[in-house]
Structure 1
């Protein structure tokens, strides 16, 4: 059984398991109702389903005109909508402002003052304002969001938005969140003890480190192969992998957290430019791998148009500095480009271009991962470890299969080269044999002619001698 057949069977099992999971999880619904807001006892947050009992309310401010005082009165009048699970708060694509309210209490007197935190497990929110009362009863606000510098955040040890819960005594404390954005408004809230929060942050960063580590290892390994083999497709692969790594780090907030924490502009610029750069080199890699200039000429021309478009959008962004339009176009172009390249690979497989089947499986993994992640953001699938990391798993599998495909492709090219050399040698041997036979025939003719000349010479000499003898007589 060949390698591509093994991959095909494995992918069938994965897809079957995924659709079964979709059916099982289809009962996920964020039910809403208007009820009195319950108090969260922080020492019970680990109990199953505890936070699903009307512990968090929200109000939608479509005009973005409400002040915090208006919001407080509205929540006191029980005008808030309840969510069944704080971890599943997702308002979908919306330009409205949303106010979220929750009440917490630390009932253990010996542990009052223990540090508690809460986290919004979604890094792409334009504005996040956290309102709370200090010890003097004065209303305070912590303003943050991905439109503000990372250094302005309360807790800086995570790419997500995290805040300390200022709890001063055993009384009920009420907190308010104001969130706003121009894209997906996902606000999954998780409460932690401070110790547990840091251990969870380490676990999450370890998972992300594994993703980036795999991409970098694959990149450097294939870069080494490029210097050895001098094949252009290896260089295009390396550029694409590094582009995806930078784009993913920009998208999930790691680049903002660790490198551009002082500059929103540089963080945004890197997201736009790395996105278009990654797709540019993806198209270039597919062209080099499938040799579309020879095998699929019309697809090659269309892919060239896509590459010029990516360059044009990057130049427009650098010249105008407009962020929203290039990002919006990138969001539209990304799936369409991936689908286009996937169809090109499908056609290449139909034409039986070597290793094209592996590219199909690679694209299926990344498309499936992105699709699941998109369904989570669209509030179709629940927020979970699987849906949160499906994007990264998909692109990790894609990178690995691409690398395997390169190895298969190189072996195929090597076999083709060996066969070509063998055919050339056989052709040369035939020509040498034919030339040798021709030379032998020519040699035989020359020998025959020499013999005839020698015989003629002898006859002439004999005649000369005969004439001389007669003359002497």
Structure 2
């Protein structure tokens, strides 16, 4: 946003104006022969030092094409189209890019002791042409040209008026701006102008000095403490400084005077950067993401949309009303601060106070941008500078308060931890005392035990002779016991083997539960080992080349032909090819279906195996089909076990599964 500065006459100039007006009234009343001057003529006298140029003194001609010259606008055709600024709807340049011709008549009454200067307050006018009445070459300057084009290297536009006593001279100004602005100005003599320069630059120097101090102070805190909020605050203050440097023209005057394009870029981009850094800082300072997560999402979305709208308006639309897009995100963040303050964060009240002053100064700025000069005075024009100084100081203090609160919370937490450690230490002392008491009891017990051991040793020595005699008898019996032990060991091994065979036979002969079944086939490796031994019980022979020698494949219990390198897994060409679930459950499913002669429902099978009914039904159909083919086999035996069904190699999807397995193995 652009800021147009304006100053009303100080009290001394006001008294001079009243005195001059009274003198003119006396002259007009006492000299009827003097002709009345036109109402749009600005009169200056030697008693005056500065005069605020009211918009009523200007006559305005808008040139949308921007092609009119000074000679053309002096022709009667165009001169008659000049309108008094007081008759216009607003005193602003409402059409960015159009040329506005201003005509100002100034009458010098009496001999003037000092030179007069015209100062235009808006430093963002892209092109300014000042035409002296004496036919001298025009002064062409503007924000779109280097600072060297200005006769006076000043942040505002300053032109000397060659006034002559008792003469009325007409000055023309041609103004072009890329945004909406006003044409407020002031006439000053040399001495008030010098005083104004000294005062204004002193105040601005103090203002930027405070901002610099805040930047250095918070940057040092960030480097020492490492708290990211300080860095975000530094970025925010730097963007504020960049906005003010671009708004008051000091940046163009001192930092980039030879780069007008950079000046226009900073003027357009600094407010956007300010909105971005402000939201970036305020969200963390207020802890909106933690305290109001839902509102935080809205804040981020509104900021992103507003930034996109500002960029679009700056680059393409150029409506001049982009400053309205700042109100919604700033208002939403201010509302979030109020909500956070309601939830108990004390530092949020400093945020509300600081930005209330900024909001008031922004309101004055918007009124000036709308052409409403009712509240325009020195206090309102520089209220934004004062508000931002108050803001950076208050927010720095608030940031310190926040860190202090976090530190106090940390100290309280550490105090609680110290109390817990003290309690733990007291418990440890009690434990040490208990251990010491236990050690005393242990020593007493050891003393008593030593006495008992001594007595027992004497008794044992007496019994040792008796035992020695018995040992000789036992040696003779040991020979017989050794033979009996060997026989018993052999009997135990046979019994264990018979027990395993009985258990296996029981599994192979009737229904058992899954726990008992898992003892025979405890894991996948045992199942694959059993299936491989069953499959290649008669010896290995390659299905591709017929070779009989093999080595281990990459998969467990698979075999690779040493001649053609063909790999065959343990499940290939069996009922378990492409089985979608655990091979242990598959074994048990085949066992249950076989032992029940195919009369085992898929619902019960699903409940027992904890599988989907569809999967159980599909697998049971494969088992039933394998049982049917097995019964039709020539070597079928009614008393054979259920494991023969596993070697069924005629399942419909066996060949496709083998081809897929071969492709995967080659890959």
Task: State the TM bucket, normalised to the shorter chain.
Answer: 0.7 to 0.9
Question: Does the Cα contact within 8 Å between 2:59 and 2:84 map onto a contact in 1?
Answer: yes
Bigger shift: 119-128 or 461-470? 461-470
**How many angstroms apart in 1 are the aligned matches of 2:55 and 2:215?**
48
Query: How far apart are residue 415 of structure 1 and its match?
Result: 0.5
TM-score by length of 2: 0.56
* Residues 172-251 of structure 1 mapped to structure 2, 5 A cutoff: 172-251=168-247
Q: Which has the higher contact order (CA 8 A, sep 6+)?
A: 1
Q: 1:302 to 1:436 in 2, by over 3 A?
A: farther
Q: Does 1:444 align with 2:437?
A: yes
Unaligned runs of 5+ in 1: 1-34
Residue matched to 2:83? 80
Residue matched to 1:120? 120
Residue matched to 2:541? none
Q: How many correspondences in the alignment? A: 423
**How many angstroms apart in 1 are the aligned matches of 2:99 and 2:423?**
81
Residue matched to 2:91? 90
- Out of 139, 143, 147, the position equivalent to 1:142 is 139
Q: 1:145 to 1:348 in 2, by over 3 A?
A: same
**How many angstroms apart in 2 are the aligned matches of 1:414 and 1:326?**
48
**How many angstroms apart in 2 are the aligned matches of 1:429 and 1:328?**
68
Q: Does 1:361 align with 2:353?
A: yes
Query: How far apart are residue 327 of structure 1 and its match?
Result: 9.9
Residue matched to 1:270? 266
Q: Does 1:131 align with 2:123?
A: no
Query: How far apart are residue 449 of structure 1 and its match?
Result: 4.3
* Residues 31-430 of structure 1 mapped to structure 2, 5 A cutoff: 36-43=38-45, 46=48, 55-61=57-63, 64=66, 66-72=68-74, 73=76, 77=80, 80-83=83-86, 90-91=91-92, 93-95=94-96, 97-109=99-111, 111=112, 114-134=114-134, 138=135, 140-156=137-153, 158-167=154-163, 170-301=166-297, 323=315, 331-382=323-374, 383-430=376-423
Question: Does the Cα contact within 8 Å between 1:93 and 1:378 map onto a contact in 2?
Answer: no
Q: 1:183 to 1:198 in 2, by over 3 A?
A: same
SS at structure 1 position matched to 2:382: helix
SS at structure 1 position matched to 2:132: strand
Q: 1:425 to 1:306 in 2, by over 3 A?
A: farther
After superposition, give the CA deviation of every residue in 1:79-106 in whole Å (9 maximum; x if it has no partner). Answer: 531549xxxx832644454332222233
**Which structure: larger Rg?**
2
Q: Does 1:455 align with 2:442?
A: no
After superposition, give the CA deviation of every residue in 1:85-134 in whole Å (9 maximum; x if it has no partner). Answer: xxxx832644454332222233434x48x421111122222332222232
**How many angstroms apart in 2 are the aligned matches of 1:298 and 1:42?**
63
Question: Does the Cα contact within 8 Å between 2:49 and 2:192 map onto a contact in 1?
Answer: no
After superposition, give the CA deviation of every residue in 1:64-91 in whole Å (9 maximum; x if it has no partner). Answer: 565434533368658531549xxxx832
Question: Does the Cα contact within 8 Å between 2:46 and 2:109 map onto a contact in 1?
Answer: no
Bigger shift: 194-203 or 418-427? 194-203
**How many angstroms apart in 1 are the aligned matches of 2:212 and 2:60?**
42
**How many angstroms apart in 2 are the aligned matches of 1:146 and 1:236?**
31
SS at structure 2 position matched to 1:379: coil
Q: 1:390 to 1:169 in 2, by over 3 A?
A: same
**How many angstroms apart in 2 are the aligned matches of 1:79 and 1:105?**
19
TM-score by length of 1: 0.77
Bigger shift: 251-260 or 451-460? 451-460
Question: Does the Cα contact within 8 Å between 1:345 and 1:356 map onto a contact in 2?
Answer: yes
Cα RMSD (Å): 3.7
Query: How far apart are residue 288 of structure 1 and its match?
Result: 3.3
Q: 1:165 to 1:381 in 2, by over 3 A?
A: closer
Residue matched to 1:26? none
**How many angstroms apart in 2 are the aligned matches of 1:240 and 1:296?**
22
After superposition, give the CA deviation of every residue in 1:268-324 in whole Å (9 maximum; x if it has no partner). Answer: 22334443433333233223323444434345555566787799899x89xxxx855
Q: 1:82 to 1:333 in 2, by over 3 A?
A: closer
